[in-house]
Amino acid sequence: MIEVLVALLVLSIGLLGVAATVAKSNRFAAGAWAQSAVASSLSDIAERLRSSPNAANANFTLNDAYATQRADIDAGNVVVATNCDATACTPTESAAFHITTWRQEIDRTMPGAAGWVLPLSSAVTESRATSFELAVMWFDKSNTDGSGAANAALECTGAEAGIDQRRCCPVAANAAAGVRCTRMVLVP
């Protein structure tokens, strides 16, 4: 009888270990899914920027605060004015089409998503940006502290090093707690 109880105790401890391993692997799988979606989204907007070389830089700007973007998306205000896939568009209409369709796509693929596209003024030649700051912001329900409260978004201060340079949110985006960002500089 004692041997059976000891065997049950050992089995219970083993099952707890298996359950913890499964929980961690599910968390890592969710993180990998998000990073894959972010990489795809950043690649998409980079191709859109490259495909419209005649659009003015000001047209390829999306620098509204995170909360403003989410309010517009949630209210249904992010709509395509002119479908440039179906009709000829001016450079301004083309830029608006690409920014809007990209915003719609990241909203469909990621929870609480918003975008950031900003021509870098320090890299402007002949009134055209030679590089852009791009970012994807999304709400990550696992971005919490030990008590379950959402962590503040990591904001770019300019002092970041290594991977933190790519994971910080633009300060002007004023990203909400629980939001994660992936940022890059594009040279089209």
Q: Tens digits of per-residue pLDDT, 121-151?
A: 654 555 566 788 999 999 988 888 888 888 8
Answer for the pair 52, 158: CB distance below 8 angstroms, yes or no. Answer: no
pLDDT score at 148: 82
Q: How far apart are CA 62 and CA 4, in angstroms?
A: 66
pLDDT of residue 122: 58
- pLDDT for 186: 87
pLDDT of residue 5: 82
Spans in the chain with pLDDT lower than 50: 123
Q: Under 8 Å CB-to-CB from 50, ≥6 apart: which residues? A: 188
Number of domains making up the chain: 1
Instruction: Kindly state the tokens that stand for 91.
Output: 């450079």
State the pLDDT at residue 155: 92
Give the per-residue pLDDT at 28: 61
Predicted pLDDT at 131: 83
- Domain span at residue 29 reads 2-186
The reported pLDDT for the residue numbered 45 is 92
